[in-house]
Amino acid sequence: MSGWLCIAGLGPGDPNLVTPEVTLTLEAATDVVGYIPYVARIAPRAGLRLHPSDNRVELDRARAAIDMAAQGRRVVVVSSGDPGVFAMASAVFEALENRPEWQALDIRVLPGITAMLAAAASAGAPLGHDFCAINLSDNLKPAALIEARVRAAAGADFAMAFYNPRSASRPHTFGRVLDILRDTCGPDRLISFARAVSTPEEKLRTVTLAEATPEMADMRTVVIVGNSATRRVGRFVYTPRSAL
């Protein structure tokens, strides 16, 4: 039996947002690897080994998954959302980089519904025109680069989605980003905070930049900032298709 490795996206939380491709792949797997709360979403069954691990050990987890596949096991690395958006796919390829003997393995990435698109759908259509996705965590990049990208995106009038806006270990980054946004986009620009989107705890709130405070976001929140044309219609927020 030859092993394989799939890096799969579980979507934002609702089981009805998991693609059939991912469900079928999980049914064929012998091993599931991932961050504790994501592995907890997989139903246990006979013949399936679950390997939950802690946050911030992405490379170790990736190497362990590749090792198991190389030994003939059928391994799924699970991510929340989409595995290619601030998630495990890049970590797996990083682990492969220095191990050419692993590169012939049967490896596939299975896309998923990423949080910003579920959040946008819940709000209406705030990403209906050109947009950027920016990870606000400064674990893996300098804060100055984050700020430069926010300025560039605001200056070119992109809508924006922010992942990992705020954590206990870096409470100030998001406040600075809000300051930059108020400076470049003005006080009336709409900003939506979508927490735990598609789960029973989902909470969605849209305010202006003048009203926005850092405390409106936490690590389970995706933040969406509209472009200069983004507006409310009824209970929804949307960005027009046209910029003419």
Q: What is the DSSP string of 152-207?
A: HHHHTT-EEEEES--BTTB-SHHHHHHHHHHHHH-TT-EEEEEESTTSTT-EEEEE
Q: According to CB under 8 A, which one of 28, 36, 57, 145 is a site residue for a second copy?
A: 145
Taking the complex as a whole, the smallest distance from the CB of residue 150 to a second copy amounts, in Å, to 9
Beta bridge partners of 91: none
Nearer to a second copy, 46 or 83 (CB): 83
Q: Does 72 bind a second copy (CB under 8 A)?
A: no
Any idea which residue has 């490379």 for tokens?
59
- Candidates 39-47, 103-111, 188-196, 199-207: pick the segment binding a second copy (CB under 8 A): 103-111
Q: How many CA atoms lie within 13 A of 6 on its CB side?
A: 22
Q: Give the containing element (helix H, strand E) for 59.
A: helix 58-70
Q: Does 188 bind a second copy (CB under 8 A)?
A: no
- Candidates 31-39, 97-105, 171-179, 211-219: pick the segment binding a second copy (CB under 8 A): 97-105
- Candidates 39-47, 177-185, 204-212, 228-236: pick the segment binding a second copy (CB under 8 A): 228-236
List, in order, residues 6 or more apart from 203 with CB less than 8 Å away. 193, 194, 195, 196
Q: Does 191 bind a second copy (CB under 8 A)?
A: no
Q: According to CB under 8 A, which one of 3, 10, 13, 17 is a site residue for a second copy?
A: 17
The DSSP output letter for 215 is: G
Q: Does 111 bind a second copy (CB under 8 A)?
A: yes
